[in-house]
Amino acid sequence: MRPWEKAIRSVVPYVPGEQPSGDRIIKLNTNENPYPPAPGVQKALREMDGEQFRKYPDPAANVLVDALSDYYQLQKNRIFVGVGSDDVLAMAFLTFFNSGKPILFPDVTYSFYPVWAELFGIPYEAVPVDGDFHIRPRDYRKDNGGVIFPNPNAPTGICLGLDQVEEIIKANEDVVVIVDEAYIDFGGESARSLIDCYDNLLVVQTFSKSRSMAGMRIGYAMGSETLIRSLSNVKYSYNSYTLNQPSLILGAEAVKDREYFERTTAAVVHTREKAKLRLRELGFTCTDSSTNFVFITHEKVPAQEIFEALRKEQIYVRYFAAPRLKNYLRVTIGTDEDMEAMYRFLESYLK
Amino acid sequence: MRPWEKAIRSVVPYVPGEQPSGDRIIKLNTNENPYPPAPGVQKALREMDGEQFRKYPDPAANVLVDALSDYYQLQKNRIFVGVGSDDVLAMAFLTFFNSGKPILFPDVTYSFYPVWAELFGIPYEAVPVDGDFHIRPRDYRKDNGGVIFPNPNAPTGICLGLDQVEEIIKANEDVVVIVDEAYIDFGGESARSLIDCYDNLLVVQTFSKSRSMAGMRIGYAMGSETLIRSLSNVKYSYNSYTLNQPSLILGAEAVKDREYFERTTAAVVHTREKAKLRLRELGFTCTDSSTNFVFITHEKVPAQEIFEALRKEQIYVRYFAAPRLKNYLRVTIGTDEDMEAMYRFLESYLK
């Protein structure tokens, strides 16, 4: 090892799902929305003036923040935007979790949390979910440096009720509590309604799932003025111009079409509920998912075998080699056609 | 102060230049290129498939890295891309400057360096440039935790020769040395030619200046496999998908048109050299800028007064209220028409 290598930060990076490409592929592995972005996005893309790219984008992202402010009827200084909710969450870790005490998050959860904690040197404690993968609010009643959990949780899809979320916040009024609502639009109740009551509550959402914009990288946070100002200060200390011109323009368009948003999320929910029935008929147990994926295990065949068999058929789902998850698969809800193709294969494979 | 506020990271954020908008405005304050992106960028924008935005972008950014690899004839595993060179540089600070020893950079330089150091808790020493704003390589011969400097330097525009850059690298083989070449295409000699000789040398460039793509937020770094792999690991620990779909596609197009790139950078250089002559006639002293801006001071009128007077005319230039810079203005090279409008005003104002 050369001397300069000693000062390199050592990390175990998050591994994103595969991004295979090809015409025959059925891609149910990264929780993308099967429906395209709202029609207004396409129209704005067609009309976009590429000459303007020579100029920096608005560092305050006003056009996008305005659209979110209108949509949620929330003041602009209570909304923060970033390059996907990963960017927003990473900045939130860096901004809020500096007490030196361990932060708390579930042991079965979004696998980026321990990665960010390691990256920024934040101590943490992974709090076990129960045997049925449920987060127990009472487990979050202990001294800590902050709390973060997804609601609904990933990769289980299980959603806490708003009363349970509030129970966790109430028990943690001395630290920042982050509710990561990447999947909330597919059936959960958002903690957004609580941000007026709790100044220490940050609610994070994304355009990648319910708004069909994973490719644009847009995430946002809502909370008290103090939380948002602190996040903005750290953002301006990291990169003044994070969202590029197309993200600002197309993101704003995506938010404006409430009808399309409601229609496509309802379609995903409909396909998901059908999936639960069909997969049970095939011998799978499904958690009660409120997201755009199902989390399943088979009564006879090990998850990894099913994963490999699907992969050979060019049907990509997600397998996690973690101790508590290794007999489960996370299957993104695709179009009805994609799902039928998967059921057909599983029917013959599991016979 | 509520208890949770105590754990908030306190920062003094970087203040970006104003982004005024309006038809009559002449914007010479953020070093944007006066020419639009290459024609291929416009064409690719017209042809872009917005339906694809529902999917995550390629986390490895292959289409863009391929284009850079072709352009520079450099292996792909020696190129790293990020959301503007600010993102690349911030990640480089986080990745490479962990020895606990102070890193070195010039006292007159890109004002984000101390901001990143503060953000990540990296000790630093600002090494004074000489009375004529020159970086003296011999000042970088001391024990340190890393070295970073822009070449050409900002906001002075002054460029070190490649032999002087190499002198600094040679004296610092035990730490990572970052040469921030945001403006190199306007007249300097890139240290890219040295990355085969020095495994600890990282060269960072951007699409925001010479490639007229500030609005797209694309930056990149070139260096040894070890440096690039370490940066990538930290990136994958921060945000797997940083560059969005339009950045990847349009960025690749911008790189492909070498002829347009050479023609527009030559036009900027031509206007800059004319600017030096015209401004000297008006009583200004100019540093010998190799960038797309000039750094000027007037023999009689304080910089701040000129700044305010220009601003009233809707001509925006950059003023820095820092001790060594407070009698200088940084003026971005615009179109010949923009520059003539500024000369006309200054002529009558300074009379």
ipTM confidence score = 0.95
**Contact check, Cβ <8 Å, B215/A53:** yes
Specify the residue for token string 């610092």.
B172
B191-to-A209, B24, B142, B170 alpha-carbon distances in Å:
42, 40, 21, 13
Interval A151-183: pLDDT, tens: 999 999 999 999 999 999 999 999 999 999 999
Amino acid type, A173? E
**Contact check, Cβ <8 Å, B54/A245:** no
- Of residues B36, B216, B240, nearest to A14 (C-beta): B240
The pLDDT score that the predictor gives to residue A351 is 87
Distance CA A305, CA A321 (A): 12
Q: Residues 80..119 of A with a Cβ closer than 8 Å to B: which?
A: 83-84, 86-87, 90, 94-99, 115-116, 118-119
Q: Which residues of B touch A96 (CB under 8 A)?
A: 4, 7-9
- Of residues A59, A87, A97, nearest to B239 (C-beta): A87
Distance CA B242, CA A86 (A): 9
Ordered mean pLDDT values, 10 residues apiece, chain B (351 residues): 90 78 89 97 96 95 98 98 97 97 97 95 97 97 98 98 98 98 98 98 98 98 97 94 97 97 98 98 97 97 97 96 93 97 97 87
Pairing of strands B293-298, B284-286: antiparallel
Dihedral pair phi/psi, residue A346, rounded to 5°: -60, -40
pLDDT by position in tens, chain A (length 351): 888 999 999 898 777 777 787 778 999 999 999 999 999 999 999 999 999 999 999 999 999 999 999 999 999 999 999 999 999 999 999 999 999 999 999 999 999 999 999 999 999 999 999 999 999 999 999 999 999 999 999 999 999 999 999 999 999 999 999 999 999 999 999 999 999 999 999 999 999 999 999 999 999 999 999 999 999 999 999 998 999 999 999 999 999 999 999 999 999 999 999 999 999 999 999 999 999 999 999 999 999 999 999 999 999 999 998 889 999 999 999 999 999 999 999 999 998
Distance CA B137, CA B175 (A): 16
Q: Which residues contact A111 (CB under 8 A, 6 or more apart)?
A: A14, A320, A322
Peptide bond into A3 cis (omega under 30): no
Handedness of CA B30, B36, B41, B46 (dihedral sign): positive
**In angstroms, what separates the C-alpha of B24 from chain A's closest C-alpha?**
16
The helix/strand/coil state of A338 is helix
Half-sphere exposure of residue B68: CA atoms within 13 angstroms, side-chain side:
28
| Nearest of B75, B79, B104, B225 to residue B169 by alpha carbon | B104
| Nearest of A269, A268, A265 to residue A254 by alpha carbon | A265
Beta-carbon count within 10 A of A15 CB: 12
pTM of the model: 0.96
Beta-carbon count within 10 A of A42 CB: 18
Q: List b or e across B297-311, with b for residues whose CB sees 16 or more CB atoms inside 10 angstroms.
A: bbeebebeebbeebe
| Nearest of B39, B50, B54 to residue B246 by alpha carbon | B50
- Of residues B9, B41, B97, nearest to A95 (C-beta): B9
State which residue of chain B sits closest to A13, comparing Cα positions: B237
- Of residues A34, A99, A240, nearest to B16 (C-beta): A240
**In angstroms, what separates the C-alpha of A162 from chain B's closest C-alpha?**
22
Distance CA B254, CA B59 (A): 20
**Contact check, Cβ <8 Å, B48/A45:** yes
Q: Residues 135..164 of B with a Cβ closer than 8 Å to A: which?
A: 145-146
- Of residues B41, B86, B199, nearest to A240 (C-beta): B86
DSSP structural state of residue B224: -
Q: Does A304 touch chain B (CB under 8 A)?
A: no
Q: Which residues of B touch A230 (CB under 8 A)?
A: 8-9
- Of residues A55, A84, A245, nearest to B239 (C-beta): A84
Read off the tokens for A84: 């996907």
Read off the tokens for A295: 């989390």
Q: Does B53 touch chain A (CB under 8 A)?
A: yes
Q: Residues 8..47 of B with a Cβ closer than 8 Å to A: which?
A: 8-9, 11-16, 19, 27, 30, 32-37, 41-42, 45-46
Q: Which residues of A touch B38 (CB under 8 A)?
A: none
Helical packing angle, B225-238 and B84-96, nearest 10°: 100
* Pairs from A274-278 (Cβ < 8 Å, separation ≥ 24): A274/A336, A274/A339, A275/A331, A275/A333, A275/A339, A278/A339, A278/A343
Q: Does B63 touch chain A (CB under 8 A)?
A: no
| Nearest of B224, B216, B134 to residue B178 by alpha carbon | B224
**Contact check, Cβ <8 Å, B51/A36:** yes
